[in-house]
Structure formats: structure tokens, C-alpha cells
A and B are shown apart, each in its own frame.
Chain A
């Protein structure tokens, strides 16, 4: 299982307490470690934004390019991710997890926002086209709308989770680890991992039931 747990340097998925496996580098003003960059970022030190970009822009842009292909959309997502992360840095808590994991969370929001925007434009175009013709009976909602709305709600709710719950569920969701692998990776006991997963999924279910669209029966 260690193969699955080995992480490439700069891997974005992580949990509080799990530090990067990157080779130890001499620390100093020129080359601070990841945690140091995170602390300075949270403190609003401008140099930390440049350092964070230097170290993690490739990962963030990799996500954006995977979602939209190379080009203006991906570039906007990457740009917006760093701008939002910087202006919203008060919400980043260095003691709650590494900065690259938080940045990838912001990036997922930007990707989901872009999807939602495209979906809205598509539906507006369709509505306009439908209005031009006779309105068909029955306002069926396409399933894709629910999926897009659910996605935004889940991402939003993940932001509200504390640690270690957030890190655990993100490893399950985005790193595709089993609960046993998560326990091994984080050092959190197996039973605790399982109960956190259960409670988090219940919490997400509640959020979707309260704020999400009703699912077709």
C-alpha cells in the first residue's frame, strides 16, 4: 500500500498534520518550506504570494487545463484561483492544513463556478430558443442542472468543515484513498476515520436535502 501513499512533491491533496514528503531543503529567506510559505501567506506577506505561485501555480494550472484544455478559460481559472486565495487569505488557517491543499480547493470552486456559468448561459440560450417556438408542456429539469448545483453545494460545505474532517473526506473524494489508506497516511485511528467519514457524509446529505434541488423520484 505504500506505493499508493507515496506522494509526489507538491501533491495538492493533504491533511493537517501530514507534511509534504518533498526533500528537505535548506531553509532561509530564499527557500522557505511549504509551511513557512503558508504562514506568511496567511499573514498577508506579499512575497508569500509570489512564492506560492512559484511553487504551486503549475499544479493549479494543471487542474484548470485538465478541466478546460489549454487556453483562456484555464488561464482565467488559475488567475482567479490565486487572486481569490490572496484576497480571501483570512479564511486560510495554516494550522488547519497545507496551503497547496487549500489552493486546490479554491481551484475546484473556480472550475465548478465556470461550469455553472456555462450551464446558465446554455440554458438561457435554450430558453430563448424555446420561447421563439411554442412552449412545450412540462418543465422538466435536466439532470445536469442538479449535478452542477450539488457540486457547488458540496464544495461550499467542505469549506465549512474543520480538521481533520475536511482533510479526511478530501482524501476519500479527491485522492481516492480507502479509509484504511487514509488512516495510514494521517496516523488517525481507523475507527475515527470511519466515524468522521460517516458524519461528514451525513452532513453533506443534509446540506443537499435542505438547499439542493429535489431529486426526481
Chain B
């Protein structure tokens, strides 16, 4: 009986049944079996159910896109999370019981986008909290417009560390005596060499953003443009910018928070 054809041994390594005569030979031939075994090592290596091509789609939470947008600096956003898949979202995306504002917002945050929080709080809770940002910020924006003459904080937010960079801090919106608004920033971060920190106000869907300026570790104040709607740009973001003359966001964010009242 002749040995199996090389192609047949490859198919056998993939687990395909062989024609009867070839199968009978394989059973009795140590050389052919050893050849199959050696080819099978690669087959076995990736023969895990996790790699199978067909899979039920699962909608990722909106924070996944927000993280992609932040890391790539890409501005266009998917039209809506709802159009991504038809499958039900994973349990993690289901917001747990969370305080519901008395006066729910008429409009949800644009595109249902939230940010890739890397905070000390559990992610699930952050997702729920982020979903409420639209409502809370709305209230904050109203408070700013009605601000009194004294420089008093209207809204403040913790700037939570993102990624590995040990940067964090606080930001507060204050109304000064002359009626102008400012963002008081306290940044706790290592000094940079050849790069600098910049602070931004960003839309919930991470598309439009307003640069406020260069920020150093420590306390600083940034005047807010008159008429700027903080409800539209609630995200306070600290980025690391290279000295490349490019005025756009580098895509490297190290600390971030969402303004609440």
C-alpha cells in the first residue's frame, strides 16, 4: 500500500475524513501518522472556540468608542451606538440602579457617547454616572449663568488619571467679580521634558473641543470664553502635546473629568 498523498495528510491534520483506502493506510503507517502529528501542531494551536469566525455580535459600551477616539484623535464618530449591532448589549452595559435626576434631560448626551473612564470607581458605576452627565451638566450650565458677583465655585470635578501616566487633579468653574468665568485647575503630574500639558474642554462625543491653554503641574486659572456653553463641552481633558507646532489635540490624554454642578 502506497503512503498517503502529502495533501491528504494535511487534510487529516485539519481533521477532515480521508478516503477509505488512505484512512486504512494511515492507521497502519507510523510515518504517515507522525507526519500528520507534526502538521497538527499549528492546527491545534489555534483550534480554540474563542477564535471561531462566527460569533453573536455584542454591542460594546459607548466608552469603548470614546477610548478609540481619544487614542487615535479621530473626530468623526459612529452615527449611533444603536446602529452598531442588533444584539442585546452585554450585562455590563446595563446601568445599575443609580440616582435618577428629578428632572430627566430632554436630550440624551449626543450619540449616547461617554468617556473611557479609568477611575477609582468601578467601571459599571462610571458608565451609569456618565449616562447621567447630560442632566447634571444642564443644571450646572444654568448655575453658571445665574452666578453671583463673588468668585465662587459653581461646579467642580476630579480629573481622574487615564492610562499609565500618573496625572490627576481637580478643576473648578468659578465666576469672578467682573462676571467672567474661569476654570481653576489643580494638576498633580510629573514635569515633562520636550512635551507639555494642555487643557481642553471637549464635547461628550469627543468631536469638538476648545483648547484653554498650556497647563503646568500646580494651580492655575484659565479664563473661559464668554458665551461658551459648558453644557456642550463638559469634559475637562489634560493632554500631553509634543513640541511639533501642531495645534490639534495629540490624542494622548492623561487626566480627565466631566463637569458636574
The answer to whether B43 touches A53 (Cβ under 8 A) is no
The answer to whether A194 touches B50 (Cβ under 8 A) is no
Contact of B54 among A54, A175, A202 (CB under 8 A): A175
What's the Cα separation between A175 and B51 when bound, in Å? 9
The answer to whether B72 touches A215 (Cβ under 8 A) is no
The answer to whether B60 touches A72 (Cβ under 8 A) is no
The answer to whether A66 touches B50 (Cβ under 8 A) is yes
Contact of A173 among B47, B55, B64, B77 (CB under 8 A): B47
Number of A-B residue pairs at CB separation under 8 A? 174
The answer to whether A70 touches B42 (Cβ under 8 A) is no
Instruction: From known contacts A54-B83, A75-B61, A172-B14, infer whether A65 and B77 are also in contact, taking CB-CB under 8 Å.
Output: no
Interface size class of A (residues with CB under 8 A): 35 or more
* A16 at interface, CB cutoff 8 A: no
* B110 at interface, CB cutoff 8 A: no
Shortest beta-carbon distance, B16 to chain A, in Å?
A: 5
- Count of B interface residues, CB-CB < 8 Å: 55
The answer to whether B54 touches A70 (Cβ under 8 A) is no
Q: Which residues of A contact B41 (CB under 8 A)?
A: 150, 204-205, 208, 212, 215
- B49's closest neighbor in chain A, by CB? A66
Chain B 52-68, CB-CB to A under 8 Å as 1, else 0, gives 11111111110111011
Contact of B90 among A13, A59, A65 (CB under 8 A): A65
* B97 at interface, CB cutoff 8 A: no
The answer to whether A154 touches B68 (Cβ under 8 A) is no
* A87 at interface, CB cutoff 8 A: yes
What's the Cα separation between A167 and B157 when bound, in Å? 50
* A92 at interface, CB cutoff 8 A: no
Q: Which residues of A contact B63 (CB under 8 A)?
A: 75
- B57's closest neighbor in chain A, by CB? A58
- A208's closest neighbor in chain B, by CB? B41
Segment with Cβ contacts to B, from A20-28, A76-84, A123-131, A134-142: A76-84
* A102 at interface, CB cutoff 8 A: no
Q: Which residues of A contact B123 (CB under 8 A)?
A: 71-72, 75
The answer to whether A53 touches B51 (Cβ under 8 A) is no
User: Which chain A residues (37-82) contact chain B, with CB distance < 8 Å?
Assistant: 46-47, 49-51, 53-55, 57-63, 65-67, 70-72, 74-75, 78-79, 82
Q: Which 4 A-B pairs have the closest CB atoms?
A: A58-B85, A13-B53, A70-B90, A58-B57
